[in-house]
Structures are given as C-alpha cells and as structure tokens.
C-alpha cells in the first residue's frame, strides 16, 4: 500500500511540474502577442489621421480590430485608444512594472 501512495504522489508531483512548465511558454507567448499588438496599435494611432483620407491598407488594419465604421473620426480614435489601453492594462497584469519602470512612467 505504501508503494501505491509513493507512486501516486510521484505522479502528482510530475504532473504539477509538467503543468507549471507548460504554462510558462503560454505566458511568454501571450505577453509577446500583447507587446506586438500594442506596437501595431501605437503605429496605427501615429500614422492615422481620422479626419483625412484613410488608405485601403489602414481600413483593412482597422477592420482586423473590428473597427468597421470609418465615417466617424471621433469613433475611430476612441475605439483605437480603448483597444490600446486595454492591451496595455492586460500586459501590466501579466507583467507588472518594476519600481524603476514605474518611476519612468511618472516622468
């Protein structure tokens, strides 16, 4: 009976180690995905003039973020900023800022 208990605890230990190690790549993948999304959204915000002509490439990119109505410049700007802010917030939940980074954000 002791052998069965030892085997079961050994299996549980191995399973928990496997689970923890498999979570790390998912976490890293998610943070990398969020960083890439933040970068793309930032570039789009910098390039886009919602009061001017919107190129077909920009329309396609906006559509990929489910921004389909490009007739209202205020709405486009608002939706982009909300997406950017939500992505940054999610990244900060996964990867909290260090004390030094917090100081840099204040200034």
- Residue 55 inside a domain? The answer is yes
- Residue 13 inside a domain? The answer is no
What is the full per-residue pLDDT of the chain (107 aa) written as tens digits? 455 444 454 455 444 444 455 556 666 788 899 999 999 999 999 999 988 999 999 999 999 999 999 999 999 999 999 999 999 999 998 887 665 665 566 55
- Residue 80 inside a domain? The answer is yes
- Residue 85 inside a domain? The answer is yes
CA gap 3, 56 in Å, rounded? 68
- Residue 16 inside a domain? The answer is no
Structural domain boundaries enclosing 68: 38-107
- Residue 92 inside a domain? The answer is yes
User: How many domains does the chain divide into?
Assistant: 1
- Residue 25 inside a domain? The answer is no
- Residue 53 inside a domain? The answer is yes
């Amino acid at each position: 009976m002791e052998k069965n208990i030892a085997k079961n605890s050994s299996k549980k230990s191995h399973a928990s180690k496997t689970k923890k190690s498999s979570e790390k790549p998912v976490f890293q993948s998610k943070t990398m995905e969020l960083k890439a999304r933040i970068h793309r959204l930032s570039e789009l915000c910098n390039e886009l003039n919602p009061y001017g002509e919107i190129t077909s490439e920009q329309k396609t990119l906006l559509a990929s973020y489910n921004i389909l109505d490009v007739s209202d410049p205020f709405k486009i700007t608002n939706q982009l900023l909300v997406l950017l802010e939500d992505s940054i917030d999610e990244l900060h939940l996964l990867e909290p800022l260090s004390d030094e980074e917090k100081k840099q954000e204040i200034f």
